[in-house]
Amino acid sequence: MKANSCGHEWIVKLTQQEEESDLDTALIQIIADLLEIKHFAIYINKHISRPLPPTLINTSSSLKALSPTEALLVLHKVSQNKIRVSRSSNVIRSYLPVYHLGEVMGVLLIETQHALSERITALAIHILNIYANQLGLLYKSRLDPLTELLNRQTFDKKVIEIVSGNGFLKPRSEVSNKRRWYLAIADIDLFKNVNDNYGHVIGDEVILLVARLLKNNFRLEDYVFRYGGEEFAVLFQTKTETEARVALNRLRLNVAEYPFPQVGQLTISCGFLELASIDTVSSIVNQADLALYHSKNNGRNRVTSYNELGVNFQQQVDNSIELF
């Protein structure tokens, strides 16, 4: 093991990271320095509060990558037995759990010819838990405090990651047909009337309930955001635009049929498009907004695809019409 035997500098380095990607890079380098080996793999469930398979964060690892099913099985084993060690063909494979608030959210898999010392093992687990705590803080900072949906700032980063191909492009299940990413903007129709007639406390309750309906409508692998006020954004995957429309219409009907306390019935309008090419976040959102405005201007409680508007579509918003 290299200098910094007490691990203090490593811990400081982890706690100073403010971006998830930088935090991952720091952990990978620290584990490499600590173990002085290259044969290790780190699997982390970045969703933290949702029971999804952990994903490999050091993708250049020399170890064969585990499938989502295998990774979930390993996570289950270390959850039961904490540190797990197996031996085969003169190789010792160690599995060290990564804890967050008492729950195992990841695992460090190490292959060596000799057993790890208790000191190295204990320090590695400590470092992993510092990483998990910092990851949890970063995750919490990405949430809207009222709805616990992802916030606006996180939305911009996710869109950039998707359109640039730097992340979140893996299919949600092991299927041969590639799924495509879609962005939808949803807005509660005539929400101003709720605040005017029932007050902001009831208005906040409506926003919270719609947020729950949104989360229930989409899969764990999708990303649901509170975009601002009564407006929401969803980044989700389907095979076709038709499937995307079906998912959004299902959401629209669920909201329309929901009995909101005191308020009664409410509706939402949606606009959506496929994230098919690299573009700026503002341009992509503007296209989704144009589709949303079309839904608003044509009776509300509708779902509109940007493709429906036509290549030469020029949106004219009549300021005398209250869209929201």
What is the value of pTM for the model shown?
0.76
Q: Domain check: are 76 and 167 in the same one? A: no
Q: Quote the domain boundaries for residue 106.
A: 8-141
88: in domain: yes
Q: Domain check: are 19 and 129 in the same one? A: yes
pLDDT at 89: 80
Q: Domain check: are 81 and 205 in the same one? A: no
pLDDT at 4: 57
Q: What is the pLDDT of residues 36-51, one digit of tens each?
A: 888 999 999 988 777 7
pLDDT at 6: 61
Q: Single out the residue in 119, 141, 163 at which a domain terminates.
A: 141
Q: Domain check: are 47 and 137 in the same one? A: yes
Q: Single out the residue in 111, 141, 171 at which a domain terminates.
A: 141
Q: Domain check: are 211 and 287 in the same one? A: yes
Q: Single out the residue in 107, 141, 175 at which a domain terminates.
A: 141
319: in domain: no
Q: How far is CA 23 from CA 12, 15, 78, 231, 295, in A?
A: 11, 8, 23, 31, 41
How many domains does the chain contain in total? 2
Q: Domain check: are 44 and 119 in the same one? A: yes
Q: What is the CATH number of the domain that holds 130?
A: 3.30.450.40
Q: Domain check: are 132 and 164 in the same one? A: no
pLDDT at 312: 53
One digit per residue, the tens of pLDDT, for the chain of length 324 reads 454 556 889 999 999 998 888 999 999 999 999 988 889 999 999 887 777 889 999 999 999 999 999 999 998 888 877 888 888 888 999 999 999 988 899 999 999 988 889 999 999 999 999 999 999 999 999 999 999 999 998 999 899 888 887 654 444 344 435 889 999 999 999 999 999 999 999 999 999 999 999 999 999 889 999 999 999 999 999 999 999 999 999 999 999 999 999 999 999 999 999 998 778 899 999 999 999 999 999 999 999 999 999 755 544 434 434 444
pLDDT at 7: 81
